[in-house]
Structures are given as C-alpha cells and as structure tokens.
Amino acid sequence: MNDANESPLKTSRYTPSLNAEERRLLAQSEIEASETAWGAAEVLVTQRLHRDALSRAYFALFHAARGLLFAEGYDARGPDAVIEVLGLRLAATGEMPPEAPAVLARGQRYRELCDFGVGWVVSPERVLAELEVYEEHRTGLLAMLAARGVKGASGGA
C-alpha cells in the first residue's frame, strides 16, 4: 500500500461501518423521510390516486428499513442493498419477521409498476390491503429504531 491512510481491510454493506454520529443522523433522516412519504400516501388515498399512494407507501417502508440498517451501522443505500442486508443481517437472525425483506421486495416491484407500468391496473381494494401490510411492517421497523434510542428530528418515532 502506498497511502499510509489506506486500510488493508475493505468495508462492505455486509459489515457495520458507520460511526455513532453517522448512524444517528442518517437514521433520523430516514425516519423523517418515512413519515413524509407515509403522510403523502395517506393524502393520495383520500384523493383516490391509488397507484401514487402505493408508490409513496413503498418509500415510507423503504426509508424505515434503511433507517434501521443505518442505525445498526450498515451503509446500505440502494433498494436492492437494503433488501439484501435486511434479510442477511436482521431477518435471518430472527431480529425481525422473516417475511419483512420479501414485503419490501414486493413493494419495490409494485412501485416500479405504479410509476412505469403503463398498462398495469390495480384495484383500490388491493392498494388498501397492501398499505395495511406496509404500515404493519413500517410500524415494526420504527419500533425497532425507537428501542435503539433513535427517533426522528421532531422527537417522534
């Protein structure tokens, strides 16, 4: 190694690498993003914009999941990385329901269909049922964050 500051150990998304301050700030930011996206989903449902609501609800779930990973020190940023690390590091160890990564993956696919699936049709009833599942998992993720002492900038989980 030529650079004295270069570490011989490479970090990956599978190894906690964030320091305590990064963990707290990134996790708090994700909680706020989750709350904002969920609020948007609720408004969109009242306006009967169900595809848009489903897309925003996915992001609410995604941000809560990424916040938990950040709180644990994992620097998993993209959707595929979040699903993978969530499964390998939390669901596989029994720290969360084993179906949580699959719910997030399904949400990711639905989000793609909502935003880009020109001919994709989803019933309002299906959207509402999916939102219930997302909210259940999002609430669980936020509770896990709160148990770790991480709350949004406004103080609420």
For 4-39, write each residue's pLDDT tens digit: 444 444 567 778 889 999 999 999 999 999 999 999
| DSSP letters spanning 38-71 | HHHHHHHHHTT-HHHHHHHHHHHHHHHHHHHHHH
Q: How far apart are CA 46 and CA 52, in angstroms?
A: 11
Task: Tell me the whole-structure pTM to 2 decimals.
Answer: 0.88
pLDDT at 11: 60
Q: Domains of the chain, with CATH numbers?
A: 20-147 (1.20.120.330)
- Tally of CB atoms within 10 A around 48: 10
List pLDDT tens digits, range 96-138: 999 999 999 999 999 999 999 999 999 999 999 999 999 999 9
Interval 37-88: pLDDT, tens: 999 999 999 999 999 999 999 999 999 999 999 999 999 999 999 999 999 9
